[in-house]
A and B are shown apart, each in its own frame.
Chain A
Amino acid sequence: MTLPNKLLFCVGVLALSVFCRAERVAPPLAELVAEWASGGGAEVLYAYDRREFQPDHHWHSVHYRAIRINDIEAARDYGRIRLGFNHYYSDLELDYANVLTPEGELKSVAEDALQESTGGGQDFYEDRSGLTFSLPDIKPGAVLEFQFRRKSRKLSLDSVVRDDSFSYWYQMTVGGMGARMDPVRQATYELVVPQELSLHKRVSGPVEPDYQHSVVGDKQHHVWTWQSLPKVHIERAMPPLQPMLSMVQVSSSRDWNLVGDWTLDLMDGKVSTSTEIQRLARSLASDNDSPHTKVQKVYAWVQQNIRYVFAHLGRGGYEPHTAEEILKQGYGDCKDQTVLVLSLLRALDIEAYPALVATRRQNQPDTTLVSLPFDHMVVWLPNADQGRPLWLDTTGDRTLFPGFSSYLEGQPGLIIEGRGKSRLVELDPRLPDNFAVLNLHYYVDDREHLRVDASVDLSGIYEQSMRNWWVTDSERESSLRDLIHQVFPGATPEMFQAEVTDADSLWHGIGLKGYFDFGPAWQEGEKSTAYTLGLPQVFRLFGNLASLQAPQDRYQPWYEPYALQLSVRATMEAEGLTPAVLASGVDVESDFFKVHQSGRAEGDSYKVEVDYFREPLNLSLEEYRRYHSAINQLGNQESWTVAFSETDTETASTAVAADDLQSQLKLARQHLEQGRFEEALTLAERILDIEYDNGEAWYILASAQGFTGMVDESIRSFGRAESLGYVP
């Protein structure tokens, strides 16, 4: 069926459903409304899901939700309902969608307020569809209800019967920037399977369901019922969602080889050993190259020649193209690129396998029972990195080798080493450390301007996020300047430049650089200056720590499953001037992080190192409150201030040394005033060798003699000075 025809069919079915009243699976709406007292926000009064599997594993299902709107915010968010599905694998029919207005009137969705749309985002060509509709009179006090049916058309992993309940209604908030999962007063999940089917069940979550099992005819009936499922607040940095949900997972298998073998079936014949592939592989690397070099060369070629495009319309999205097709098109999605990379690597005698990965878009799915939680495919090389395994992902746009996202750490993956040789793993590849290092060089330039050159070294999530931002930000130049300026946010430099380096390099992390010229270094002619630095400078760039969510607004635990390090490396100098540390930071630790700080003089420069180390966080609300306070207190910690000034008077003293008598007398007096009595004495004697009747020289000599313990000589010399008429 072509797409236009399909749309017509669906809309026809929908129209019929709305006006002909399909079989209702829920109690009358009025009963539901009467049963549950009104709460806040919005609430699902009743959730009903029923799926029935046939012996051939095909299925059909019916779903019902009644949702009461209690405030204007909820009315705004529920103004638009979207039912998503993949029309390659299933059909969807909306039985009805109504609203019971606060005034008691029941209104149905209008024909011209429902629409089916298809397609994905940029570079995605897929069979994903959505049925969207808006009900009339959605306002506080209204109760909306809708019922829809789905039926399988094709099966993806047909060897496994699998399903899970999801009683909440996941509603995108207005603007699409957030989501809400409102409380559910009562939910029912009914599963009907052939009597002979052996089924594994996994019940999880904080609310225990009632469970009923019966056999009717040749079918098993399983019914789970929950009461009062609590609201799930959707927040950033929240833990994996699944443990919070009270749900049931069912599957006919615990053997993940079924998934691996199915994947290999789909890839069968796609990984190529063709002449074209062989030729290409040989052109990329020679036999003399190390395995690691060969991998790098294949990675580079794919990065430079194969663009990421998900082109699977009418294909279901699981089956890759052949290596030759990919080469011909010059693009491919993750499966395609995996096929091509495997082809090239194997042509170069590099052992490599496909691996399925569940990205964070899938949250962190439980893998007790077999299902299809994976949404990404990469290449796994058991020995390519000097005998150690390597995860290779070519799908990024000019990403740092080996392209594997640091955000995947801890996610489930399935390495497929052959038929019957699949193994589930928790992704713990040798990912680069997550760090951001701010290097600062403070100095005074030839024009006696105070300058600071800043550069940022990034690794792990910082490198990947920055590279992605640079590619996607439409105002990246000004954004970059704003970002780098945060190193000295309050300052108004005379000149400021910022640049990005290695944004497209596959081998060097993206770098940021900033050049600050703060104008004349000296004020009022005084040749001295002071530099300050501290952890907040790098926090402002990368920490998002200055804008942590207020604990009182937080509902969920705080979850950041990555260790990270933020550092400042500063070199401060001002030629000819001596550094003095006027203030310094100290080592700090908390239950959540550690800060190490140190400074040292190196010649005329001073070097400061500040390191913030944070282990992965999974904090309860109370712990988050403490973490938030600890970060705030960290911001109050003392920063570094290093002053540069002229200190030594030695050079000034010796500078006046000259041949003439007056200069020598002046120097001798300076020696006296500087406590250098021996030098004063020697110099006075030398002056007297030149001019024996110099009263001042005798006086200086007498003073020096007196201060060095030559008391009698001192008295005689003072007498001589007086007799010469010298009065000090």
Chain B
Amino acid sequence: MISRQKLLCTISMALLASCGTQPAKPQVAEKLDAQQRPLIRSEAGDHRAQGLAFYRQWEQTRELEVLRKAEEHLSAALADQPDDVRYQRLYYDVVMSLAIFADSMSAFFSSIGEGVEVRRLAEAKDWQHVLEEQFEAMHPSLKQGDLPPPAVATYLGERVMKKALEGQRSAPIEAAEQQPQKESLEVQRAALIKAVQQQPQHVASWLNLSEVLSDTREYHLALQAAKTAASLNGDVADVNYRLGRAYYILSEIDGCSGANDPYLRKSAPAMAKAAHQAPDNSRYAFSAAFTYNALEVYPLALSVARESNARNSTPALMEQKADALLGLGRLDEAEALYQQLLDTGNHWGALHGLYSVAIHRGHWQAARDYLVESRQDFPESVYSQLMEYWLERLAGKTTELPILPVNEADPWSVAVADYAILGEASDALAARARNACQLAEAHFYQAMQYWEAGDSEGARRELEQAKATKAGKHVDHALARAFLASGAF
């Protein structure tokens, strides 16, 4: 059973990214009792001091009662001097925590018949309403910068609930988890749109909105939200990464993008900025290196991957580093890295890399063997069967075209199979390509047909055209480059 303590801790982590294990500080009231009667007394001052002390104590303990006491004292302090922005902000933070708590956990505990205190707190006041009122009453200067707008409480409540549920598996939790994901996303989306209207300068709200919009597949809106976040504060790695992701997703929206893709081109610098701002975040570095490799900007890809890999080596980063080395024609270094990856159990990426290195070197049999080995991790495809056939042919073997596993639901797959089976060198396939990736494939297959027909010149021309598609992330584009590099054409 999830504990109330843990839930409160989860909430506070969402808010403040800290959940201490330090012992609770003594309450101010207890301190006062231990002393003589104070020389000077100030009811308002005591409310301030105790409100702050309880708030600090809550930061340490996450005890509900402590948070409520902080609210009571700070409310009284504000009643005494409502214009003091320090206590406006402190009270707002307290009520924000209460609103998140009330919105998220009360319903949850109610569903599982637990948390009497939580429910009592939720019923004590309409915390969201109090939060909205306090927001309205606050000084305009506070509504700039990092002040979370009141609507964020609803969003965070949803997130906290989700986080809590992710970590727990029990019958009551399962029951509570029935809330449809889509409905939750809609709640989050609406809350965050309201949040950015309430506090347009709150970077985190725009950032979170971008993520939620991405989850709801509203990629253009997600990009707009990320751009606004970046315009507000371009010094935050998370913001730049989100911006890069938003661009990248748009570049992928038709299933293919290449070095000429404007979204991919805008994704890379944002990713690189994120990697630079958070050098210990290997995910950001990987994304930046991957995007640069896709753009065929191999020196930058290598630089990002190498730098980050030196800090925090991961297989994904090593693979990007090897890919960059391969793109730069530094085959030995690339091969060594791929081999290292293979030796450490990272099969597919390593085998694919070694396969590419073998093609670069014209080691057709070795390439064919890597291809077959890599097939253990991936289902058979028209591409795989055709490549195995052509590699055996390049290795000097006489072999028959295999039966191709055509996916009838995929018109392009059918077209490729038809073209291969026809066995005539022509430009027919390229004419049917619908995007850069298909065009790269078409030219590659056409090149192989020209080669089989003994027209090396035609094959080379087709490979050059495949390369010119700049479908950098697509395998046939990469193969065209490798085949050209092998010198066999």
Interface residues of A (CB under 8 A from B): 578, 580-584, 586-590, 597-601, 606, 626, 629-630, 633-634, 637, 643, 645, 647-648, 672-677, 699, 702-703, 706-707, 711, 714, 718, 727-728
* B86/A703 in contact, CB under 8 A: no
* A714/B266 in contact, CB under 8 A: no
* B83/A675 in contact, CB under 8 A: no
SS class, residues of chain B in contact with chain A:
helix
* A675/B42 in contact, CB under 8 A: no
Contacts of B232 in A (CB 8 A): 673
6 contacting pairs across A/B (C-beta < 8 A) = A606-B83, A626-B39, A647-B141, A675-B198, A706-B221, A706-B224
A673 is contacted by which of B39, B44, B213, B231 (Cβ under 8 Å)? Answer: B231
Contacts of A588 in B (CB 8 A): 40-42, 45
Provided the pairs A586-B44, A588-B45, A648-B140 are in contact, do residues A707 and B193 lie with their beta carbons within 8 angstroms?
yes
Most chain B CB within 10 A, of A584, A601, A676, is at A584
A587 is contacted by which of B43, B200, B218 (Cβ under 8 Å)? Answer: B43
Interface 1/0 per residue, B188-200 and A, CB below 8 Å:
0000010011111
Interface 1/0 per residue, B43-68 and A, CB below 8 Å:
11100100000000000000000000
Interface residues of B (CB under 8 A from A): 39-45, 48, 80-81, 83-86, 139-141, 144, 193, 196-200, 213, 218, 220-221, 223-224, 227-228, 231-232, 262-263, 266
A583 is contacted by which of B84, B139, B263 (Cβ under 8 Å)? Answer: B84
CB closest residue in chain A, given B87: A584
Whole-angstrom distance between the Cβ of A591 and the nearest chain B Cβ: 8
Bound-complex Cα distance A702 to B81 (A): 45
Whole-angstrom distance between the Cβ of A644 and the nearest chain B Cβ: 10
SS class, residues of chain A in contact with chain B:
mixed
Please list the 3 inter-chain residue pairs (A to B) with the smallest Cβ-Cβ separation, ordered nearest first. Answer: A675-B197, A586-B44, A675-B200
* B83/A578 in contact, CB under 8 A: no
CB closest residue in chain B, given A674: B200
Bound-complex Cα distance A630 to B193 (A): 52
Whole-angstrom distance between the Cβ of A679 and the nearest chain B Cβ: 11
A676 is contacted by which of B84, B86, B197, B213 (Cβ under 8 Å)? Answer: B197
Provided the pairs A590-B39, A677-B197 are in contact, do residues A599 and B81 lie with their beta carbons within 8 angstroms?
yes
* B144/A706 in contact, CB under 8 A: no
Contacts of B198 in A (CB 8 A): 675
Whole-angstrom distance between the Cβ of A605 and the nearest chain B Cβ: 13
Provided the pairs A582-B86, A599-B83 are in contact, do residues A672 and B228 lie with their beta carbons within 8 angstroms?
yes
Contacts of B196 in A (CB 8 A): 675
A633 is contacted by which of B39, B140, B193 (Cβ under 8 Å)? Answer: B39
* A706/B218 in contact, CB under 8 A: yes
Contacts of B84 in A (CB 8 A): 581-584
Contacts of B80 in A (CB 8 A): 586-587
Provided the pairs A586-B42, A587-B43 are in contact, do residues A673 and B140 lie with their beta carbons within 8 angstroms?
no
Most chain A CB within 10 A, of B84, B86, B139, B218, is at B84
Most chain B CB within 10 A, of A581, A583, A629, A714, is at A581
CB closest residue in chain B, given A587: B44
CB closest residue in chain B, given A632: B39
Contacts of A675 in B (CB 8 A): 196-200
Whole-angstrom distance between the Cβ of B222 and the nearest chain A Cβ: 9
Bound-complex Cα distance A580 to B86 (A): 10
Provided the pairs A675-B198, A707-B193 are in contact, do residues A581 and B83 lie with their beta carbons within 8 angstroms?
yes
CB closest residue in chain B, given A606: B83
* B140/A714 in contact, CB under 8 A: no
* A727/B266 in contact, CB under 8 A: yes
* A629/B39 in contact, CB under 8 A: yes
Whole-angstrom distance between the Cβ of A317 and the nearest chain B Cβ: 49
* A630/B228 in contact, CB under 8 A: no
* B85/A634 in contact, CB under 8 A: no
Bound-complex Cα distance A674 to B224 (A): 12
Contacts of B199 in A (CB 8 A): 675
Contacts of A637 in B (CB 8 A): 40, 42, 45
Bound-complex Cα distance A598 to B193 (A): 38
Contacts of B141 in A (CB 8 A): 578, 580, 643, 645, 647
CB closest residue in chain B, given A638: B45
Bound-complex Cα distance A588 to B39 (A): 10
- Apart from A648-B140, A676-B200, list 4 A-B contacts with CB within 8 A: A584-B81, A587-B45, A673-B200, A728-B224
Bound-complex Cα distance A587 to B223 (A): 51
* A580/B139 in contact, CB under 8 A: yes
Bound-complex Cα distance A648 to B80 (A): 26
Contacts of A584 in B (CB 8 A): 81, 83-84
Bound-complex Cα distance A650 to B197 (A): 13
Whole-angstrom distance between the Cβ of A249 and the nearest chain B Cβ: 40
Bound-complex Cα distance A337 to B223 (A): 93
Provided the pairs A581-B85, A587-B44 are in contact, do residues A672 and B224 lie with their beta carbons within 8 angstroms?
yes
Provided the pairs A707-B221, A711-B218 are in contact, do residues A587 and B42 lie with their beta carbons within 8 angstroms?
yes
* A706/B200 in contact, CB under 8 A: no
* A727/B83 in contact, CB under 8 A: no
CB closest residue in chain A, given B84: A584
CB closest residue in chain A, given B246: A728
A586 is contacted by which of B81, B231, B263 (Cβ under 8 Å)? Answer: B81
Bound-complex Cα distance A570 to B253 (A): 63
Bound-complex Cα distance A672 to B44 (A): 42
CB closest residue in chain A, given B142: A580
Contacts of A634 in B (CB 8 A): 40
Bound-complex Cα distance A677 to B232 (A): 17
* A586/B48 in contact, CB under 8 A: yes
Whole-angstrom distance between the Cβ of A612 and the nearest chain B Cβ: 12
* B223/A590 in contact, CB under 8 A: no
* A580/B85 in contact, CB under 8 A: yes
* B85/A728 in contact, CB under 8 A: no
Contacts of B85 in A (CB 8 A): 580-582
Whole-angstrom distance between the Cβ of A551 and the nearest chain B Cβ: 12
Contacts of B140 in A (CB 8 A): 578, 647-648
* A728/B227 in contact, CB under 8 A: yes
Contacts of A598 in B (CB 8 A): 81
Most chain B CB within 10 A, of A626, A673, A711, is at A673
Bound-complex Cα distance A626 to B227 (A): 61
Contacts of A629 in B (CB 8 A): 39
Bound-complex Cα distance A672 to B48 (A): 39
Bound-complex Cα distance A629 to B223 (A): 62
Bound-complex Cα distance A578 to B143 (A): 14
Contacts of B266 in A (CB 8 A): 727
Whole-angstrom distance between the Cβ of A609 and the nearest chain B Cβ: 12
Bound-complex Cα distance A671 to B83 (A): 29
Whole-angstrom distance between the Cβ of B256 and the nearest chain A Cβ: 15
Contacts of B262 in A (CB 8 A): 727
Whole-angstrom distance between the Cβ of A357 and the nearest chain B Cβ: 38
Bound-complex Cα distance A699 to B262 (A): 15
* A718/B220 in contact, CB under 8 A: yes
* B221/A589 in contact, CB under 8 A: no
Bound-complex Cα distance A673 to B228 (A): 6
Contacts of A711 in B (CB 8 A): 218
Bound-complex Cα distance A626 to B38 (A): 10
Whole-angstrom distance between the Cβ of A104 and the nearest chain B Cβ: 55
* B42/A589 in contact, CB under 8 A: yes
Most chain A CB within 10 A, of B43, B193, B220, is at B220
Provided the pairs A599-B81, A675-B196 are in contact, do residues A633 and B44 lie with their beta carbons within 8 angstroms?
no
Whole-angstrom distance between the Cβ of B197 and the nearest chain A Cβ: 4
Provided the pairs A675-B198, A707-B193 are in contact, do residues A583 and B221 lie with their beta carbons within 8 angstroms?
no
* B44/A583 in contact, CB under 8 A: no
* A647/B220 in contact, CB under 8 A: no
Bound-complex Cα distance A674 to B139 (A): 18
Contacts of B144 in A (CB 8 A): 647
Contacts of A583 in B (CB 8 A): 84, 86
Whole-angstrom distance between the Cβ of B436 and the nearest chain A Cβ: 16
* A590/B41 in contact, CB under 8 A: yes
Bound-complex Cα distance A127 to B53 (A): 71
Bound-complex Cα distance A727 to B220 (A): 10
* A727/B221 in contact, CB under 8 A: no
CB closest residue in chain B, given A589: B41
